[in-house]
């Protein structure tokens, strides 16, 4: 019967529309999540990688400047103990402020491990600096120079190396974030294309069903043989 066929066609259209709506909702939810992930990754690249990378440069610059100050004090007569202490205090404030700022960023486990080692190296070198100052204040500048040559220089170089290693890890983590973001973008583009193709295919099927329904419902012409 014609009416049963029409009902079947309408049911097919309704099912297809339901399928389309289901996939559209699912794809939109995935796309929204991807957009959120991309936003989070971009913010992390800026706040947890780019800004700290700049701070790392300032930290490295800090250590080179304090090395120059120590060596100028030990190898020349241009610096006295009070000047050196004032200079190192200034560098200490800058250094610990940068380290504290870096600690507040998002760190992966490997970064946390290397940061801990770096801080231990910093404290070790700071201890040597204080000993150099103490010896100099007690008119033992030769002993202070020997301490710097035996322990201080190596400790400072070790501190700078730890900082370099930490920067390398940070760069690797930033690269992974960029790679992950590219993957999310690629997935989003694929879903968008798939959604478009699905809509076109389902639209074509619905159109075919509607047209076939019209053909079935078209009134039959009666011919008069007289």
**In whole angstroms, what is the distance from residue 133 CA to residue 120 CA?**
20
Report which of 32, 63, 86, 70 is spatially closest to residue 161, judged by C-alpha positions.
63
Q: Is residue 33 part of a domain?
A: yes
Q: Is residue 205 part of a domain?
A: yes
Q: Is residue 43 part of a domain?
A: yes
User: CB neighbours of 62 closer than 8 A, spacing ≥ 6?
Assistant: 91, 94, 95, 98
Q: Is residue 222 part of a domain?
A: no
| Model pLDDT, residue 143 | 92
User: CB neighbours of 193 closer than 8 A, spacing ≥ 6?
Assistant: none
**198 contacts 25 by C-beta, under 8 angstroms:** no
| Model pLDDT, residue 197 | 79
Q: How many CA atoms lie within 13 A of 10 on its CB side?
A: 6
At residue 222, the 3 state secondary structure works out as: coil
Q: Is residue 68 part of a domain?
A: yes
Centroid of chain to Cα 49: 6
**127 contacts 69 by C-beta, under 8 angstroms:** no
**In whole angstroms, what is the distance from residue 27 CA to residue 42 CA?**
22
> pLDDT tens digit string along 136-170?
888 888 898 899 998 988 888 888 888 888 888 87
Q: Is residue 179 part of a domain?
A: yes
Domains: count for the chain: 1
The Cα angle at residue 158 between residues 152 and 159, in degrees rounded to 5: 90
Q: Which residues of the chain have pLDDT under 50?
A: 1, 220-223, 225-226
User: CB neighbours of 147 closer than 8 A, spacing ≥ 6?
Assistant: 128, 131, 132, 135
Q: Is residue 224 part of a domain?
A: no
| Model pLDDT, residue 209 | 65
Report which of 90, 118, 88 is spatially closest to residue 102, judged by C-alpha positions.
118
Q: Is residue 126 part of a domain?
A: yes
Domain of residue 75: give its range. 2-217
């Amino acid at each position: 019967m014609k009416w049963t066929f029409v009902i079947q066609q309408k049911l097919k259209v309704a099912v297809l529309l339901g399928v389309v709506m289901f996939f559209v909702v699912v794809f939109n939810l995935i796309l929204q999540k991807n957009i959120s992930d991309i936003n989070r990754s971009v913010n992390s690249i800026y706040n947890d990688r780019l800004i700290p990378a700049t701070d790392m440069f300032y930290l490295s610059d800090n250590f080179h400047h304090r090395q120059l100050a120590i060596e100028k004090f030990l190898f020349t007569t241009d610096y006295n103990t009070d000047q050196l202490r004032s200079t190192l205090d200034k560098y200490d404030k800058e250094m610990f402020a940068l380290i504290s700022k870096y600690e507040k960023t998002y760190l992966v486990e490997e970064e946390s491990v290397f940061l801990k080692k770096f801080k231990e190296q910093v404290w070790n070198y700071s201890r040597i600096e204080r000993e150099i100052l103490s010896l100099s204040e007690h008119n033992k500048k030769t002993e202070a120079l020997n301490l710097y040559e035996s322990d201080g220089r190596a400790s400072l170089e070790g501190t700078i190396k730890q900082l370099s290693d930490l920067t390398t890890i940070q760069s690797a983590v930033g690269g992974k974030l960029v790679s992950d973001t590219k993957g999310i973008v690629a997935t989003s583009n694929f879903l968008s294309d798939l959604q478009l193709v699905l809509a076109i295919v389902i639209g074509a099927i619905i159109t075919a069903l509607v047209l076939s329904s019209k053909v079935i419902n078209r009134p039959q012409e009666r011919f008069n043989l007289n």
